[in-house]
Chains A and B, each alone.
Chain A
Amino acid sequence: MTDREELLDLLYGSVLSGDVDSAVAVTQEGLGVDVEPTVLLFDAMIPALEEVGRRFETGEVFLPEMLIAANAMQGAMTILRPLIVAAGVETVGRFVMGTVAGDIHDVGKNLCNVMLEGAGFEVIDLGINVPAEAFVEAIREKEPDVVGMSAFLTTTAIEFARNIELIAEVGLRDQVKILIGGAPVDQALVDSAGADGFAPDASSAVRVAKSVMGLA
């Protein structure tokens, strides 16, 4: 095994086991010996995150392990992100994400962000308690391909429909695909809110996003 392969293996293992210190150190080491940022991302970190997602879906790992893997990836991404942007690497698409107004739950949303960024999306996170107007403004300014809205409560899931109505009212509905997610979300809610789809968990968010964009 070459040094480069060993290094990618180590980075893969660091993300998989959620060791953020190691993920950052190995990333820096890799850059120091001229491994391209995209290689570190696409050949080590994303496969690791995909593996964590697979294990999550099959019930081999649970939220703690998924969260620490995402955290390790985020740690390394703070170093890689500016380099990848500077290199002008083309993104899969632009994704605006936010937890709806009246809701502050963001564990699932943040995991989705990491998975999406790992899959090559540019993610713009509007945060929590995001009013409908802020989604509209972000669509105007950032021109995303997909907007993701998250809600944890049945009492705040009603915001999906309100947001989508406002986006339609101002004439922006045809410009974006809209995905919803969170504990109360199912296909019936997608239909009643007028969204384009939903992801039951973070690991399937990428698949669904690509699918509504016609990429998969």
Chain B
Amino acid sequence: MSMTPRERVLAAIRHGEPDRVPIVLGVSNATGIKMKPYRELKRLLGIEAPDEYLYLWPELGTAAIDEETLVQLGSDVRGVWDLEPASVLEANTTRPPHADYINSWGSGATEIRPGEWFPMVCPMKSATTTKEIEDYPWPDMDDPTRVAHVAKEAARLAAEDRYAIMATPWLLFPLERAFAMQGMDTFLMNLALHPEFAEALLWKLEELCKTLMGHFLATLGEHVDIIKIGDDLGTQESLLMSPAMYRSILKPIHADYIAFIRERTSAKVFFHTDGDVFPLIDDLAEMGVDILNPIQTSAGKMADLQELKARWGDRLTFCGAIDTHRVLPAGTPDEVRAEVRRVIEIMGPGGGYMVSSVHTVMNDVPAQNILAMVDAVREFGTYPIAAGDAA
């Protein structure tokens, strides 16, 4: 039985077995490919396509992958995303070379080596009071140029009715935005030292995220299958904050945000959260998360795929789990194939799993390994999948 990519994705998300395990590559900065491996991929595949950037944002360095390459990779999703307001795009395009990139929020990135940008411009670094939140010149989330292009692209994809449509607005995540505004260490300290301020800032950021998300979803209408949100809650070894702090401060905000989205769309909620988030998976499922990403297998208990599948496999679809820590950057193509097979044999049976790299494919990954990953999905990901020895 052959399915369209969209049917394949929808079947997997409904916890049914499609014809093969879906592939989610490209489309967002959590499932994307950086420019260097993208160029190498095009060369290997003999594809000529321009080097374009996701979100029209070269400093982010993530490729907007051309259609032909997406087809070759077997990616079953196509993306729609917002843009910074036209005035901000224009200001950044015309700024002096090597000057800081500043977005509409007032935060931004500094070039530390040629072509390497890091988010180091934090405009609220010293803020600790609600007055400073009130006084901050917040961006205009109603600016129509943020989503002007979305309706046409989504309608085109919907008319084509071939790929699952994944909406990936840029970083409409309250905690990540707070880190961008204050710096990660500063905001983490404020969560402990000035919890009222930290909580107020998170609610303010969520309000702004909701405003743009509302416009984005209204523009998409029915033409969306998956909506990506998230917040990184884990570290390499445990959580970024205690479960108690998460539940008292951030969880109500996430719950409100997810409820807002679910009221406006029937699309599935895809929640990206890096690191070892094992102790919070029940919370995420309870709030209405449908798809959990990226299953960072190099981080603590997230390595235990059997346990994840056994405990949450009936409620959550997992997307990711192909290691970017060691296997994709340093493994041989054969090692990549073996790892993909191992993961598929644990996560694939019964549906509820979509292959993706753990976070975006970085510049240290050989394009051969990306091809080995998707070839292995075609080889080992066809249903029925027998649980392997590893499972």
- Using a CB–CB distance below 8 Å, which chain A residues touch chain B? 18, 59, 61-65, 67-68, 71, 101-102, 104, 106-107, 110, 128-129, 153-155, 158, 183-184, 188, 200-201
Within 8 Å by CB of B116, from A63, A102, A107, A183, lies: A102
Task: Say whether A65 contacts B120, CB under 8 Å.
Answer: no
Q: Is B68 in the interface zone, CB < 8 Å from A?
A: no
Interfacial chain B residues near A201, Cβ < 8 Å: 237
Q: How far is the CB of B233 from chain A (nearest CB, A)?
A: 11
Can you offer 19 A-B residue contacts whose CB atoms are under 8 A?
Answer: A18-B193, A61-B242, A62-B239, A62-B240, A62-B241, A63-B235, A67-B185, A68-B189, A68-B192, A71-B189, A107-B184, A107-B185, A129-B113, A154-B325, A154-B329, A183-B235, A183-B236, A184-B325, A200-B237
| Inter-chain pairs besides A62-B245, A129-B112, A154-B362, 17 sampled, C-beta below 8 Å | A61-B242, A62-B239, A62-B242, A64-B191, A64-B192, A64-B241, A64-B245, A67-B185, A102-B116, A104-B112, A128-B112, A154-B325, A154-B364, A155-B362, A155-B364, A158-B364, A200-B237
Whole-angstrom CA separation of A155 from B360 in the bound complex? 12
Kindly supply a per-residue 1/0 record for chain B positions 198-240, scoring 1 wherever the CB is within 8 Å of any chain A CB and 0 otherwise: 0000000000000000000000000000000000000111111
Whole-angstrom CA separation of A153 from B329 in the bound complex? 12
Looking across the interface, which residue of chain B has its beta carbon closest to that of A128?
B112
Whole-angstrom CA separation of A62 from B237 in the bound complex? 11
Q: Is B369 in the interface zone, CB < 8 Å from A?
A: no
Q: Is B28 in the interface zone, CB < 8 Å from A?
A: no
- In chain B, positions 22-37 with a C-beta closer than 8 Å to chain A are none
Interfacial chain B residues near A65, Cβ < 8 Å: 192, 242
Interfacial chain B residues near A183, Cβ < 8 Å: 235-236
Whole-angstrom CA separation of A64 from B184 in the bound complex? 10
Whole-angstrom CA separation of A183 from B238 in the bound complex? 12
Q: Is B306 in the interface zone, CB < 8 Å from A?
A: no
Task: Say whether A155 contacts B363, CB under 8 Å.
Answer: yes
> Interface SS of chain A: helix, strand, loop or mixed?
loop
- In chain B, positions 236-265 with a C-beta closer than 8 Å to chain A are 236-242, 245
Task: Say whether A67 contacts B237, CB under 8 Å.
Answer: no
Kindly supply a per-residue 1/0 record for chain B positions 348-373, scoring 1 wherever the CB is within 8 Å of any chain A CB and 0 otherwise: 00000000000000111000000000
Kindly supply a per-residue 1/0 record for chain B positions 95-127, scoring 1 wherever the CB is within 8 Å of any chain A CB and 0 otherwise: 000000000000000001100101010000000
Q: Is B188 in the interface zone, CB < 8 Å from A?
A: yes
Task: Say whether A64 contacts B329, CB under 8 Å.
Answer: no
Q: How far is the CB of A22 from chain B (nearest CB, A)?
A: 12
Report the 10 A-B pairs with minimum CB-CB distance, sorted nearest first: A64-B192, A104-B118, A64-B188, A155-B364, A183-B236, A107-B185, A64-B191, A62-B242, A129-B112, A68-B192
Interfacial chain A residues near B118, Cβ < 8 Å: 104
Q: Is B324 in the interface zone, CB < 8 Å from A?
A: yes
Whole-angstrom CA separation of A100 from B363 in the bound complex? 17
Interfacial chain A residues near B238, Cβ < 8 Å: 59, 62
